[in-house]
Amino acid sequence: MTPKKITQPEAESAGQDESREVAFRDVPLAVQTVEGPERPVPLADPNMFRPLDTSLWFSGNWDPPKRVGRGAVLLDGHLNWLDGESGSAKTWLAASWALDFLRDGRRVGWLDEEMGEPGLRERMLNVGATIVDLANFDGLEPMSRDLATYADAFHKWAETLGRGALLVIDSAAPVLAAAGVEENSNGEVTQFLSRVVLPLSRRLGITVLVIDHKSKDANGSKYSRGAGSKRNISDAYFSVRKVTPLTKEQDGRYELVVIKDRGAKYAEDDLFDVTAERRANRGVEWSFVRLDAAERERRKEAKADRTSEDLTGKIIATLCRIYDEGMSASKLRDEIGGADSDIKEALKAAEALGRVAQDGPAAGGHKTWRVTEAERAKQAKGAIDVP
């Protein structure tokens, strides 16, 4: 349809003598209709917008959050997160804390999406749990539960544990995957944790411990794999590292580092020595020792030295293997892993010692690195001397 034209009246022309033409369409906008029943609007929680009575915050004595479990590490009634590489005793630690709750007369729930009944039974028995202790232990075997869809049912089950209970979620990756949550999406992970996990502590008063994995190529990152919002939304966050693995033949030793603590008892980078000693009755006794600042700094420097030595060794081995080709710093990073800055620093240190040398720009415009003839001869001699 051709747009109609009207002349704006002089009375509305704001003092202008000439007339002004205004075009408009008289065709109504299309209205899209969707067949089917209307989407119901959920009822709002009556307390959703009820202000807090802040006068209670300043009346009487205020007690700081309580620490529970051996080592006084976990925040009671809060969301705790524990990550570590495979074999770093994450589940062992969780089992030992679970036994502490049971011995304290509290219930324990264990949402297992990894090990299954045999593995979980072995962990609990090996930390010293008895049939009497396990009377208050509720374990859920792996079933790929979609906790996002069935959040209400999940919360009702958790509520049966009672306030003051411990709920272990083992582990984050399969739980997120079963709910269709992209592990690397901060938005999706935050929404899931806020809707499904946080109500367990905030509303039900349950101490929650989520076990998570850290990638082997994390390069000392303070984050577990996937979205960093896991750390942001947790009340307490810890990372465990294997020093000596616990086996049937030897005791174990681990390091537990504090990444975050809203309870304000521990500072970031506080470090615990964790030892696992085998007992005659098949049990394993776990003990925690918090290190002082001087020992933490000494270990941090020693770890940096070890990391530098390991990285230099990998660089030398890689360049020896492709001696005739050479390799740029970026390709070395892709080949052996590590941060760009660490690779470049290790190359400069090795160059100063005469172990590597730098060629001119290659066809791609990047300088390439090779081991020196002396270093190549040294490596070859070392290989020959090995019996």
Which range among 59-68, 213-222, 345-354, 374-383 shows the weakest confidence by mean pLDDT? 213-222
Residues 85-127 have pLDDT tens digits of 888 999 999 999 999 999 999 999 999 999 888 889 988 988 8
Residues 132-145 have a mean pLDDT of: 94
The tokens for 344 are 């470049």
Which range among 180-194, 333-347, 359-373 shows the weakest confidence by mean pLDDT? 359-373
> Could you tell me whether strands 21-24 and 252-261 are parallel, antiparallel, or unpaired per DSSP bridges?
unpaired
Residues 212-234 have a mean pLDDT of: 72
Residues 378-387 have a mean pLDDT of: 62
Q: What residue type is 278 in one-letter code?
A: R
Residues 196-208 have a mean pLDDT of: 97
Residue of higher predicted confidence among 137 and 320: 137
Residue 43 has pLDDT above 80, yes or no: no
**How many Cβ atoms are within 10 Å of 366's Cβ, its own excluded?**
13
Query: Contact 69/101 with Cβ under 8 angstroms?
Result: yes
Peptide bond into 171 cis (omega under 30): yes
Q: What is the pLDDT of residue 84?
A: 93
Among residues 64, 99, 134, the alpha carbon closest in space to that of 209 is found at: 99
Residues 237-259 have a mean pLDDT of: 92
pLDDT interval class at 221 (50, 70, 90):
low
Among residues 231, 154, 222, the alpha carbon closest in space to that of 186 is found at: 231
pLDDT interval class at 373 (50, 70, 90):
confident
Report pTM. 0.72
Residues 218-225 have a mean pLDDT of: 55
Residues 280-297 have pLDDT tens digits of 776 788 899 999 989 988
The mean pLDDT value of the chain amounts to 84
> Could you tell me whether strands 67-68 and 74-75 are parallel, antiparallel, or unpaired per DSSP bridges?
antiparallel
Q: Domains along the chain?
A: 67-291 (3.40.50.300), 298-385 (1.10.10.10)
Q: What is the pLDDT of residue 270?
A: 94
Q: What is the pLDDT of residue 335?
A: 82
Give the whole-angstrom CA distance, residue 235 versus residue 246.
Answer: 29
